[in-house]
Amino acid sequence: MANVLVFTETNNGNVKPVTLEILGKLNGQTVDVAVIGDLGDDQVKVLAEYGAGKVHKLKGDNLDKYSPEGYSNALHGFISSGSYDYVLAGATSMAKDMLPRLATKFEAGLASDCVNFIFEGDTFHGTRPLFAGKCLAKVELSGPKPHFATIRPNALGMPESPTAGAGEASEASVNAGEIRAAIKEIIASASEKVDLTEANIIISGGRAMKNSENFSILHEMAEVVGATVGASRAAVDSGYAAPDMQVGQTGKTVSPSLYIACGISGAIQHLAGMRTSKVIVAINTDPDAPIFTKADYGIVGDLFKIVPIMTEELKKVVD
């Protein structure tokens, strides 16, 4: 049985869903959760329901805003005081920035962006995409402990019947140490939609959208099903969509339950960012478009005719 620490981030006071996905895969292990800052009793209860034995709230000076130095220093001090075999976190922008630095402090190994994992006894076996997702590697971690791993959001899915833990909450004082670069201001996005990396449904448009105004038909469909709108690199480079909407190898990597690609040819760079989606629907006028080789469902036709029809049909289902 391994002693595992899961680091969770929060969004508006709520733990990120990827934390619960990770906890659901840790049945049979001794599991603690650490969060920097405060966490409400309701969220501690949620973590307990998904298997957290202890929930540690880490507090200290210069930790009100994220910085890779401050957070990694704080976590290094806390983890050093424990006896953890593994430290897991979601493969978010923050964790991708911070965990390599933290693993280096321990001179330990890191398995990044895993799409699945299991424990055999106290040994971690992870699955990582390689070469833009063309193949999957089975990885183990060796050397000094603790070992580190990040897990791609939405890749595991929510557990149907998690095993509850005690959820014993405690506070610990940590030291951020010297911070040479600090964030002065965070400007929140005007959009209230879920971030692409955490979205359960994504509707993306490509160069075939022709202009930014035409993305309105994708936003209309997204409103009906509670989806987030994304875009291909070609659409972003053409000025049709904002850079934070880009899905692909040079954009965001996503794993939604449903991915609808509208007017996207399916270049390897785009497929690298969304090929782990559970269900892929493609709409394209070209029957030989590469996207159809990866799609579970394909529609050959004009997206400007098909998307409005789908939106109306979805309204009937949702209503």
Give the pLDDT score at 189.
Answer: 67
Token couple for 262: 């509208």
pLDDT in tens, 57-103: 999 999 988 999 999 999 999 999 888 999 999 999 999 999 999 99
Whether 50 has a pLDDT exceeding 70, the answer reads yes
Give residue 45's identity as a one-letter amino acid code.
Answer: K
Q: What is the mean pLDDT of residues 217-241?
A: 96
Q: Structural domains in the chain?
A: 3-173 (3.40.50.620), 196-318 (3.40.50.1220)
Q: What is the mean pLDDT of residues 93-116?
A: 95
Q: Are 73 and 175 in contact (CB under 8 A)?
A: yes
Whether 51 has a pLDDT exceeding 70, the answer reads yes
Q: What is the mean pLDDT of residues 242-267?
A: 94
Q: What is the DSSP string of 147-158?
A: EEEEE-TTSS--
Q: Does the global pTM surpass 0.75?
A: yes
Integer Cα distance of 23 and 117 in angstroms: 12
Q: What is the mean pLDDT of residues 230-242?
A: 96
Whether 161 has a pLDDT exceeding 90, the answer reads no
Between the alpha carbon of residue 188 and those of residues 34, 191, 194, 197, the distances in Å are 25, 9, 13, 16
Give the pLDDT score at 191.
Answer: 64
Q: Are 147 and 87 in contact (CB under 8 A)?
A: yes
What are the φ and ψ backbone dihedral angles of 211, each rounded to 5 degrees? -160, 170
Integer Cα distance of 176 and 76 in angstroms: 9
Give the pLDDT score at 207.
Answer: 95
Whether 134 has a pLDDT exceeding 70, the answer reads yes
Q: What percent of the chain has pLDDT over 70?
A: 98
Burial class of residue 125 (count of CB atoms within 10 Å of its CB; 0-12, 13-18, 19+): middle
Taking all residues of the chain, what is their mean pLDDT, rounded to a whole number?
93
Cβ atoms within 10 Å of 38's Cβ, excluding its own? 12
Integer Cα distance of 197 and 227 in angstroms: 12
Whether 197 has a pLDDT exceeding 80, the answer reads yes
End-to-end alpha carbon distance in the chain: 48
Token couple for 224: 């009906």
Q: Which residues contact 212 (CB under 8 A, 6 or more apart)?
A: 239, 240, 241
